[in-house]
């Protein structure tokens, strides 16, 4: 089976046409949580993520540092 889209997207990332982080973010956002878990397990990424006894993410900063909608509107300038 030819991986036409995978190959082309990989080439575009390698050539600098697309940012790798942007493509990764888009792919992970598109995938379900189960798809991401399965992909991580299949590729031996962070096996500790799947140990149920280690399910404490309290110290992880999940803030994407993007303004909230109300912050966006508060900074809206009608003259720009």
Residue 70 confidence (pLDDT): 80
Distance CA(69)–CA(59), nearest Å, equals 25
Domain extents in the chain: 1-45
Q: Is 79 helix (H, G, I), strand (E, B) or coil?
A: coil
- H/E stretch holding 72 reads helix 69-74
- pTM to 2 decimals? 0.55
Write out pLDDT tens, residues 18-71. Answer: 999 999 999 999 999 899 889 988 888 876 666 655 555 556 666 667 777 787
Tokens of 28: 């992970």
Inform me whether the pLDDT recorded for 13 exceeds 90: yes
Q: Measure Cα distances from 31 to 24, 34, 53, 67, 70 in Å.
A: 11, 8, 25, 24, 29
């Amino acid at each position: 089976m030819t991986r036409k889209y995978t190959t082309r997207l990989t080439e575009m990332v390698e050539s600098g046409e697309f940012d790798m982080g942007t493509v990764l973010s888009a792919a992970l956002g598109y995938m379900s949580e189960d798809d991401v878990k399965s992909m991580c397990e299949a590729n031996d990424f962070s096996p500790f993520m799947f140990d149920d006894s280690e399910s404490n993410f309290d110290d992880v900063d999940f803030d994407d540092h993007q303004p909230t909608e109300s912050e966006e509107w508060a900074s809206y300038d009608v003259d720009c």
